[in-house]
């Protein structure tokens, strides 16, 4: 299990960078981390990321690189140059690609980003794995990919809360388990399939909780974040 309270990473999935900036301005500084994904990065560009990095925010650049090793290595080098706190790739890219990504972030020296690999997306279920030809259920497939990521020298993986306990047992306390698909009780499931409440994910041993719509679509996002943080603080882990 994680020995420190997990980070909350707010997923800034906005089409308008100004809306993202306004939200970040409302958030208690340093009380959470920020996640910039594909939509916001394509619309806002690297300057947006640099703005928050310079302001002292820990930024997870969630672009889920998956390509030939040379391309992923160069993309991870570019992410490292931006000064982000965390960056990710798809474990399905295989060991050669994962090792190229690791070499790129390590070339940045001591102040390098954490490098994590997506195992099985939280929007996937057994039928999705069957559809795309991945053997086993989500736990089995995530377990194989997480072991590959660890063997390739990565710092952790993205998985659903449902896999956290099993992965923690096998991969040790230091390996980062970053969990999206987090839904407070009663919140809309949206397109997520393998969901878990923040409290249950914390009890299972998640290192970081990625939360988007339950915060960004709330009437008062800062209050929604505070409510989740309070619930986590009351949870024994
Ligand atoms: O397996 C994965 C990997 C990444 N994500 C990302 O996390 C957020 C979740 O947003 P919600 O609004 O809380 O559903 C989103 O940016 C995804 O791209 C994921 O959901 N699952």
The response to whether 35 counts as a known ligand-binding position is yes
**Catalytic residue numbers?**
62, 64, 67
- Point out the ligand 1 atom lying closest to the alpha carbon of residue 121: 1
Phi then psi for residue 212, to 5 deg, are -110, -95
Q: Is residue 65 part of a domain?
A: yes
Residue 39, domain member (yes or no)? yes
Closest CA to 66 of 119, 114, 107: 119
Q: Determine the pLDDT at residue 30.
A: 72
* Rounded distance between C-alpha atoms, residue 10 and residue 225, angstroms: 9
CA-nearest residue, atom 20 of ligand 1: 180
Alpha-carbon distance 86 to 113, whole Å? 5
Compute the distance between CA of residue 1 and CA of residue 124 in angstroms, rounded to an integer: 25
Does some domain include residue 2?
Answer: no
* CATH number, domain containing residue 12: 3.20.20.70
Model pTM greater than 0.95? yes
What's the ipTM? 0.99
* pLDDT band of 108, cuts 50, 70, 90: confident
Helix spans in 122-212 (H):
126-132, 138-151, 161-171, 198-204
Q: Tell whether 1 is covered by a domain.
A: no
8 A C-beta contact, residue 197 and residue 185: yes
For residue 15, being part of any structural domain is answered with yes
**Which residue range forms the structural domain that includes residue 224?**
7-234
Domain count, the chain: 1
State how far the Cα of 66 lies from the Cα of 97, in Å rounded to an integer. Answer: 8
Ligand 1 atom at minimum distance from 122 CA:
1
pLDDT band at 4 (very low <50, low <70, confident <90, very high): confident
């Amino acid at each position: 299990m994680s020995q420190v309270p997990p980070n909350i990473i707010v997923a800034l999935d906005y089409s308008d960078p100004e809306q993202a900036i306004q939200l970040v301005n409302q958030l208690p500084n340093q009380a959470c981390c920020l996640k910039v994904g594909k939509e916001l990065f394509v619309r806002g560009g690297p300057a947006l990321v640099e703005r928050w990095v310079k302001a002292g925010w820990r930024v997870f650049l969630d672009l889920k690189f998956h390509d030939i090793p040379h391309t992923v290595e160069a993309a991870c080098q570019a992410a490292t140059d931006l000064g982000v706190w965390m960056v990710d790739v798809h474990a399905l890219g295989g060991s050669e690609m994962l090792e190229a990504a690791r070499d790129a972030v390590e070339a940045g020296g001591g102040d390098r980003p954490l490098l994590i690999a997506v195992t099985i997306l939280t929007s996937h279920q057994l039928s999705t794995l069957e559809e795309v030809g991945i053997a086993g259920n989500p736990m089995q497939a995530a377990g194989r990919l997480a072991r590959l990521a660890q063997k390739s020298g990565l710092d952790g993986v993205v998985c659903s809360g449902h896999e956290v306990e099993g992965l923690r047992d096998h991969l040790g306390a230091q390996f980062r388990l970053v969990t999206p698909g987090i839904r407070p009780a009663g919140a809309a499931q949206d397109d997520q399939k393998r969901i878990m409440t923040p409290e249950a994910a914390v009890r299972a041993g998640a290192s970081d909780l990625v939360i988007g719509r339950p915060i960004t679509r709330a009437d008062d996002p800062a209050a929604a974040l505070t409510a989740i943080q309070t619930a986590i603080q009351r949870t024994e882990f």
